[in-house]
Amino acid sequence: MNRQPIVSLENVTKSYGGINALESANFELYPGEIHALAGENGAGKSTLCKLIAGVISPSDGTVRINGEVVKLSAPKDASERGISMVYQETSLVPQLTVAQNMVLGREKTFNSVRKVRNAARQVLQRLNFKVDPSQLAGSLSTAKRQMVEIARAVLNQAKVIIFDEPTAALTPEETDHLFDLMKTLQAEGVAMIFISHALEEALNHSDRISVLRNGKLVVTGNADEFDRGSLIHHMIGEELNEKMHVPAKRHEARSALPVLRVENVRMGSMVNNMSFSVFPGEITGIAGLIGSGRSEVAKVIMGHTKRNFGGGRIWLDGREVRYSLPAQAVADGIAYVSEDRKLDGFFDTLSISENIGLGWMAKFGRRALLAPLRKMRRISREWEGKLSIRSIGTDQSVLYLSGGNQQKVVIAKSLVQQPKLIIFDEPTRGVDVGAIAEIRQIVRQFAESGAGVILISSYLPEILDLSDRILVAKSGTIVADFPRADATATKILHAAIH
């Protein structure tokens, strides 16, 4: 390519407290190019993107846009030059409507609320995103919030769009649609960067791929020069013995008493007479499309959301329960690893060990207060090691961890409670290939130790690999129940759709 790059980084370094999150990176992005970034959690992918989007400024090195040296000291400086970023953690203002969020910072260009709403509606329709522009952003699901962020970039007529893990919260259909859309934008000359932990997405949907490892950009090449193995090799610097496939448990006779029994639970329009049981020592996978009521029933079990008046019954270890607060469910031994770590996963101003410590306190309450601080520290260190949570310093607040490492903190915070039932809602979203393997092992061991596990995942291979039994949810009810040996992707999809 001998055209001029639209963005280039020359020897760019970003350091925090003397430690490099990104080190002497050289990176070029060309007009009309789709460029994928790959790398382990904490490798520096989001850092590279935020430097281009003006969210953070380099400690050293040069940034050029269209050949001209620039200093981007705020996102506004980048967006004025046509650079938009769709963040890993959504940045919408929950109290504003979808339309207001889409024009945030550019309200002056529109002189009436109606114009704002119409402009927003047009873009959403063009993208085929089913989001109502007058709805409050705070009431949207994770997937829809992401759609609004994408629509905002398109409305801004950006020349460069950066997507930080755009597909993590999307269904397979939504993901396909996004890649089609990116192709359309590409034909219009828009340059795009996207980060993804799904290596196939990088391989199949980009023109070029750059791999980061430990803050260094180790390689850039045409997508067709890579395959899964070589990408992983560049990411971790060695071969990964892919222990991704976790063996199923040997089937012993199931103990008669389920750890959880849900009967005819109803909640609004999302959960309609949902009934199922979860047995100790087993991983019960729940497959289904987004909106099938899986996360919603989990929230009802946890006392996060109220079921309808007379809306069914729930038993834990044979005892009927009805929680009005998640704290009660936690005290009884139920843990919930949520799909949205930012909303209810952790306290982002606290450190890793404080977060894990709080998880411990939430369960062991008074007993934990008497536990020496030293013990709490030891326990959280242990979990940091088990999940290889990587940070620059241990007492750093969780806010500054990379996205995947934040997810690991949420998991550790729940597991430290030694629950008898754990509900994993999309547990490996945003987590790198190596850590996914670790998390899967942990989920398996956890079941093996005799606890009940519910695994909600939109990623079918994950459900198929891990579950001992697979339930399929559709329109708020369970429509199929397969033992592992009988389950296939086709059967599950058929049940989820028809």
The CB-of-389 to ligand ATP minimum distance in angstroms stands at: 10
DSSP characters over 353-402:
HHHHHHHHHHHHHHHHHHS-HHHHHHHHHHHHHHTT---SSTTSBGGGS-
Query: If binding is defined by CB under 6 A, does position 403 make contact with ligand ATP?
Result: yes
Instruction: Let me know the angle formed at the C-alpha of 15 by 11 and 18, rounded to the nearest 5 degrees.
Output: 125
Q: How far is CA 256 from CA 220, 223, 278, 422, 436, in A?
A: 56, 52, 11, 19, 32
Give the range of 81-89, 141-149, 170-178, 478-486 binding Mg ion by CB under 5 A. Answer: 81-89
Q: Which two tokens stand for residue 393?
A: 């310093």
Strand partners for 86: 163
Among residues 41 and 467, whose Cβ is nearest to ligand ATP?
41
Q: How far is CA 96 from CA 79, 142, 144, 239, in A?
A: 21, 16, 14, 47
Listed residue (468, 481, 483) closest to 495, CA to CA? 481
Give the range of 44-52, 98-106, 153-161, 471-479 binding Mg ion by CB under 5 A. Answer: 44-52
Query: If binding is defined by CB under 6 A, does position 405 make contact with ligand ATP?
Result: yes
Among residues 46 and 79, whose Cβ is nearest to Mg ion?
46
91 vs 164: CA distance, rounded Å: 12
Q: Which two tokens stand for residue 190?
A: 């828009």
Could you say which of Mg ion, ligand ATP, none residue 39 binds, taking C-beta under 5 to 8 angstroms by partner kind? ligand ATP
Query: If binding is defined by CB under 6 A, does position 467 make contact with ligand ATP?
Result: no
Query: If binding is defined by CB under 6 A, does position 294 make contact with ligand ATP?
Result: no
Among residues 199 and 287, whose Cβ is nearest to Mg ion?
199
Give the range of 38-46, 137-145, 348-356, 477-485 binding Mg ion by CB under 5 A. Answer: 38-46
Q: How far is CA 308 from CA 186, 268, 295, 330, in A?
A: 47, 7, 16, 22
Among residues 293 and 345, whose Cβ is nearest to ligand ATP?
345
Give the range of 220-228, 348-356, 397-405, 462-470 binding ligand ATP by CB under 6 A. Answer: 397-405
Residue choice 35, 45, 121, 145 for contact with ligand ATP (CB under 6 A): 45
373 vs 360: CA distance, rounded Å: 12
Could you say which of Mg ion, ligand ATP, none residue 340 binds, taking C-beta under 5 to 8 angstroms by partner kind? none
Query: If binding is defined by CB under 5 A, does position 5 make contact with Mg ion?
Result: no
Give the range of 45-53, 290-298, 358-366, 473-481 binding Mg ion by CB under 5 A. Answer: 45-53
Looking up tokens 């704290």 gives: 327
The single-letter DSSP state of residue 307 is P
Q: Which two tokens stand for residue 482?
A: 């397969």
Q: What's the chain's Rg over C-alpha atoms?
A: 23
Letters for 58-97 (x = contact with ligand ATP by CB under 6 A, - = none) are ------------------------------x---------
Letters for 340-379 (x = contact with ligand ATP by CB under 6 A, - = none) are ----------------------------------------
Query: If binding is defined by CB under 5 A, does position 403 make contact with Mg ion?
Result: yes
Query: If binding is defined by CB under 5 A, does position 46 make contact with Mg ion?
Result: yes
Give the range of 69-77, 399-407, 445-453, 474-482 binding ligand ATP by CB under 6 A. Answer: 399-407
Computed from CA positions of residues 98, 146, 350, 452, in that sequence, does the dihedral angle turn out positive or negative?
positive
Contact assessment for residue 436 and residue 444, using Cβ atoms and an 8 Å cutoff: no
Could you say which of Mg ion, ligand ATP, none residue 342 binds, taking C-beta under 5 to 8 angstroms by partner kind? none
280 vs 276: CA distance, rounded Å: 14
Binding positions for ligand ATP, rule: CB under 6 A: 16, 21, 39, 41-47, 88, 390-392, 400-405, 432
Q: Which residues form the interface with Mg ion (CB under 5 A)?
A: 46, 88, 402-403
